[in-house]
Amino acid sequence: MEKNPGNTSKISARINELTNDLKNQQIETFRWLHQNPELALQEFKSSRFILKHLQDLSNIEIVHPISKTGIKAILRGNKPGPTVALRADIDALPVREETGLSYASKVKTNYQGTETYVSHACGHDANTAAALGVAAVLNQIKDELYGTVVFIFQPAEEGVPPGEDGGAALMVKEGVLKNPDVDAIFSFHANSMYYPGTVIIGDGITHASMDNIIIKIKGVQAHGSQPWKAKDPIIAGSAIINAIQTIISRDVDLQKGAAVITAGYFHGGVKVNIIPDEAEIGLTVRSLDDDNHELLMRRVKEVAELEAQVHGCYAEVIYGQHYPINRNNPDLYQLIIQGVKEFAGTGNLVKYLPKTTSEDFSYFSQQVPGLYIQYGSAPIDKPLSESKPNHHPEFMVDEAAIKFVTRLECQLIINALKKLHMSLIKGENIT
């Protein structure tokens, strides 16, 4: 194995040259993805579009489909070394876009039986456009790569329909991190609360665990004028929603980390003068501590069942999709952080603090050392105070962010491969 990786400044200049050449193509890629958003496990057009771009790169090996609509692409460098992966999420959201952009999404589709608008209100189109740019750039400088790069284009990051499998969990199950064995994995995500040029990065916990829980309440139907003949699931459901909030305020040790229970929907009944025989509550439950997560899973069930019983009803608690806590690997962070500082400038780095949002990137980072990083994407022609957050109808990505993060990803991957290569020579491993 070689012990003296090549001239970094020369490689950086080449990356800058190639990303300048790719700028217009990347914007076209971003705008096409933006105008053609697809929901989880419906990303068929997106997959074909990504495949076409990858097939135009002669040195790329492609595995498709994986996790139903996902893609794995392998670029082997000309020098021996480790393997790092770059994950980009490709799905969109059931959100109506209200940005007024000339290339705004007008797509409609069916979401769980209801017609809905669809948009990339989370920036996955930018994440994917950047990753495709990285593949194109590194393909042209593979002589400088100490090892292998695996590109993972992941569907269903925003969650799968009830009863379905997909996303990162299914990709791991189907072996996306094997053949070749991945030594480290990175993911970059747009953040509209910062301008392009900003990097949001940290070690340790970044995202909370997430659990979807459905509570089905069974009662006894009766005429609305005679409630004493009913066992009212709506009253029972209202009591459950109020009672479960005391789990957060009285049961959870919040010194260990934040926790949240939110009722996203409460359905019951069809007519004002009929007490229905059933109702349903949909919950999202978040925790930044594993012990608190276990407590929440147990106490939601206990409280729901007991509150239903108090009102003469029966509650069935159904545990749905789960994302684990995501932890950025501290050794991997230390390995790459100096290079990130040199690339972006220390003043453009923001510490990534733990959030109660969730990310199924955690399924990857449970298997191999991982880093989840965000990049600023707020429109540069507006005050930050006017920039809308992810999942908002007016969420926008400034196209200047795409070239910046493409360069950052290229530089980080090259540096990570070199440093991991040197660590392996020394017999050192990150864990």
How many Å is the Cα radius of gyration of the chain? 24
- Boundaries of domain holding 41: 8-207+325-425
User: What pLDDT does 426 receive?
Assistant: 73
Dist. CA 389–CA 69, nearest whole Å: 27
pLDDT exceeds cutoff 50 at 249: yes
Query: In this predicted model, what pLDDT tens digit does every residue of 45-103 receive, in sequence order?
Result: 999 999 999 999 988 999 999 999 999 999 999 999 999 999 999 999 999 999 999 99
Residue 364 domain flag: yes
The catalytic position among 89, 125, 144, 157 is 157
Domain endpoint, select from 288, 323, 358? 323
Question: Is the domain of 123 the same as that of 246?
Answer: no
Cis before 383 (ω within 30): no
> What average pLDDT does the segment 415-426 reach?
85
130-159, pLDDT tens digit by residue? Answer: 999 999 999 999 999 999 999 999 999 999
Average confidence score pLDDT of the chain: 95
Q: What are phi and psi of 93, to 5 degrees?
A: -125, 155
Residues 184 and 241 in one domain: no
For residues 351 and 227, membership in a common domain is answered with no
Active site residue 174: no
- The SS3 call for residue 297 is helix
State whether 30 and 173 are in the same domain: yes
- Helix 400-425 vs helix 330-344: crossing angle, to nearest 10: 130
157 included as an active-site residue: yes
| Same structural domain, 318 and 249 | yes
Q: Give the least confident one: 8-12, 140-144, 233-237, 322-326.
A: 8-12
**Contact of 320 with 214, CB cutoff 8 Å:** yes
Q: Map tokens 């009102």 to a residue.
A: 311
Same domain, 304 and 347: no
Catalytic hit among 38, 43, 89, 91? 91
Residue 266 and residue 349 in one domain: no
Within this chain, do residues 219 and 191 fall inside the same structural domain, yes or no?
A: no
Task: Let me know whether 89 and 215 are in one domain.
Answer: no
**What Cα–Cα distance (Å) separates residue 78 from each residue in 141, 143, 145, 157, 215?**
9, 5, 6, 32, 55
Are residues 306 and 344 part of one domain?
A: no
180 upstream amide cis, omega within 30 of 0: yes
Task: Say how far apart CA 325 and CA 420 lie, in whole Å.
Answer: 25
Residues 250-259 have a mean pLDDT of 97
Overall average pLDDT of the 231-236 stretch: 98
**Residue 384 domain flag:** yes
pLDDT at 7: 58
Q: State residue 89 phi and psi, 5-degree precision.
A: -90, 145
- Position 282 scores a pLDDT of 97
* 420 located within any domain: yes
Mean pLDDT of 281-307: 98
Confidence band for 342, pLDDT divided at 50, 70 and 90: very high
Please report the DSSP string for 18-60 in residue order.
HHHHHHHHHHHHHHHHHHS---TT--HHHHHHHHHHHHTSTTE
354 and 388: one domain? Answer: yes
Cβ count near 48 (within 10 Å): 12
- The per-residue pLDDT for 113 is 84
77 and 106 part of one domain: yes
Q: For the chain, how many structural domains are there in total?
A: 2
323, 349, 382 - which closes a domain:
323
Would 3 be classed as within a structural domain? no
Check which CATH number belongs to the domain holding 254 and give it: 3.30.70.360
